[in-house]
Structure 1
Amino acid sequence: MKKAVIAILAVLYVTVTSGITVNIHYCMGKLASVEYGYDDHDACGLCGMTEQREGCCHTEYKLVKVDDAHQLVPIADHNFQMPVAILPYEIVWIDEAPAKAVQISPSGNDPPDQHDTPVYLRNCVFRV
């Protein structure tokens, strides 16, 4: 189903972009027939008269075609500069000495501090 719709749209697109000639025939001031394509006939099919400049029958040929479908779009000229915002600010000078570093106490489930234990006892290496 999709392929059929795509094929129909492709044929319609090619037809409109390449153009179709429409033959509109007027007989005695009224629309007599509309045909596709160029048909060069001398006599009217309804009244049998030959087409003359000021006669009762005349034929108009119109070309149905898309003229501006594939024109290049002019590139818009945008100003991409960032606006400058001047915001009020205050410079704060800190003259105080930094606070003394606070020692963080270990949590209750941390292992005890083992700096006083010798390395061979900490690693359980006993040489006999």
Structure 2
Amino acid sequence: LVADQDASAITEMFFSWLRERTPPGCRWELTDMGSGFPATTPTDSPALRAAVSALKEASGAEASLIKSGGSIPIAGMLKDRLGLDTIFMGFGLEDDRIHSPNEKFELDCFRLGMRSHAILIEKLWQIT
């Protein structure tokens, strides 16, 4: 989903689409497992600008802004209920094997995350 879509309405439309196309003699067992609120953080968001600045200050390198989808329901909920933009900052490496039995996370990446977040908190404090 993208921002401003209603997850429940999309789910019902998709279920209806499947039911309409179900061949005779076949049946679906469809279950809505729940969903979150979709959200997009604008690139001109003061919070995002603060995060980009904090990352540069902590690492010495420009941050890469990557728009991606995901399933973190609290992000959309914060936007929907409180009007807050969410920013996800990744500090892992491509070979971290995220969510696998042998997942890893480098200490240098962890330290960079700590420095970046400490700087970001100060910058967010200044814009509020």
Shorter-chain TM-score bucket reads under 0.3
Q: Which has the larger share of strand?
A: 1
Q: Which has the larger share of helix?
A: 2
Structure with the greater alpha carbon radius of gyration: 1
TM-score (norm 1): 0.20
| Structure number with higher relative contact order (C-alpha < 8 Å, ≥ 6 residues apart) | 2
